[in-house]
Structure 1
Amino acid sequence: MKGLLLRLSALDADAATAVRVIAHFEALMSAGSDAVSLVRSTAGLAQCAAGLERTGGRRVRFGPGGAALPGEPERVSGSAFFGDTDSGPGGRVWLERPGAPGPFDELVLEWMAIAARMLDGRRRAAEPPHAADPALVELVLSEREAVEDRARALRLLGLVPELPLRVVAVALAGAGPAGAPPSPGSGPGAGPAPDIGVETVALLGRSGLPGSVRIARVGPLGAVLVQRPDGDPASPAEELRAAAGARPAGPDAPGRSAGRAVRSVRAGVGGLTEALDAGVSWQQARVALRFAAAGRPEEAVTDHDDLGPVALLAEIPAERLRARPEVRALAELAAGEGGGTGIAALAAFCRTGSLRQAAAELHLHHSSVAARLAHVEETLGWRLRDPRDRFRAHLALYAWRLSGTE
């Protein structure tokens, strides 16, 4: 390519420039660059702002100096579409030249669209989760370290400082609310104690999350950095719930042994934040984790975004929650004979608001669920068909779960 450029530059400067443009994008595609690298390098090549936006996705814009640009473009001097394909929904690329389009803008846009379409085909392939250096992950999650140090740590982890991410906190299922029954595999003779790092890698491996996933152990928790392709804001909660409900395929798979249920985990998903503010998402993930309950996938993974103002309950000290009569009553119910099944029925009914939907979720006949709810009503003095009592019951369940965690 160098030799061709030298020969062309001696004959025709325009031809040499055209080849240089093509070589630029071919190098980007060969290197497996992401959308951020594509837009930033195109802006530098064209010496004007450039942008990319996928259908229903996040907009990415960079100036010629390499700085990310927020908001919508003020003036688009030229654009190109990369249409819907089997590998992605397509989208648009553009240049934002203040004056008239440059002589090679059309070629730049054509090849930028080609590169974007190729990236679109790659971005949906799930990258295996990587076990990361815990020191780097802790540096990213710290709010005390300098921004420059956090940005460097993100790059060393293979993440993009300019794209948003979410943090997921993972804990072993046995660390549940006070009075809750122990999780499977936690009793005597259950075998070696599980390792949260191994369990977190197994959970994320089953989830098949697209994008960059970095896992490390931080204290007693698994910390997971999830950066979706091109900053896609979608929460990973649904994929994690599906993975939490999955079971290893064979008798020799990790976590499975004769006569013992598969160990499970609980997870809290933090909100979407800028990568340099990952500490905020980490705090939210730990709050969401306190609301997660061992057992069914629907409750084993809690998304902080879904909690809304209920998340404020986590600010109440655990001892004050334990002092509430409703929380004490739930703890006594859970500790009694058949208490675990009653709690499960109550949680499913509060979540769905329907006896039949609760029964379908629990894979039970609706009459069995009705009998369990009747026992709960008799024990706690609630009338669950009354919306006010059901609201109180739901809040009491949240408070009971929080009362066993700090």
Structure 2
Amino acid sequence: MVHQLAGRLNSIDPQAGEALRIVSYFDVLIARGVGLDGLLRGAALLSGTVAGAEIRGRVTRRDPDGHAPADAADARRRSSPRSHDTWTVWLERDGEPGPDDDMIAERLALGVYLLEERRRPDSGIDAIIDPNRSAAERAVFLARHRTDPETRVRVLATPADAADTGAPSAIVPTRYGLLKATLDRSGRLAPPEPAGLGTWVRADRAPESWDAAIIALRLTAPDTPTVDATDLGAMLLLAQAHDPQAPHEDVRALAALDQRSSDVLRTLVEADSIRSAAGTLGMHHSTVQARHEALTATLGYDPRTTTGRMRYTAAALLLRLIDPITPARTPSA
């Protein structure tokens, strides 16, 4: 899905398409759990030049072939450096920075940030929300945060570059890219928007809340920047069963519509009558009637019937789960 999106973007805006390709490349590396060497090799390959990192005084460099350069680390000018508390990453250039240096350095920095976060003695939020961990394993990490397995908690989902709330959090890879997970034990946290609020569960069932929080985040919009998964009701079950890599034919049909057709369809579904829809759209009644008939043929169902409205509502919700996400930035120092 991401590769298809990158291809479409590249035909419209080559720079945006390349940026998404870089984001996707590093997200895969991070999701696979590669170490510093793998991140530097990836950055060097994408940039076509040496990528370096200095972590707690130790310098590591890799060239595009994956080898350690023979020349000194200070022989070249550092391009697009990024720094945090105990580390710095950079690319090395003899001349001007490459067009993608900033994006590559940003994703390299985010990868190193995550590596360092995992070294912290108080880390473990990613383990607490990992469905592949046993309840007993999650209990060990919950103990680090002084949380009993039976305590009611919920997990919040925000973009990876969102400001910290002061509660335990971690940046973790998901099928939608890197997101920040925050453990809410009080219900009084005010996460930065956009934010998805997971369902309240026992702490040892935190993965269920995290899954719901991700879905809620995907359903945020400018007019609803915070979505509570609890408010979705039975629709949450539908969203959880949805596979964004293989969307239902109803979802594909909506995705294929142009913006004007989408606006007409939404108005037809929401209006009391076709005449009312025509008034809202500023179109002639007969024109809207013709568009209604054409849309019915395209969708394979009448969107104004009770069943049709249900199918449209479900498909529209699931379509929002496969929209592109905004790439995250490295948390600032």
What band does the TM-score fall into relative to the shorter chain? Answer: 0.3 to 0.5
Q: TM-score, normalised by structure 2?
A: 0.43
Q: TM-score, normalised by structure 1?
A: 0.37
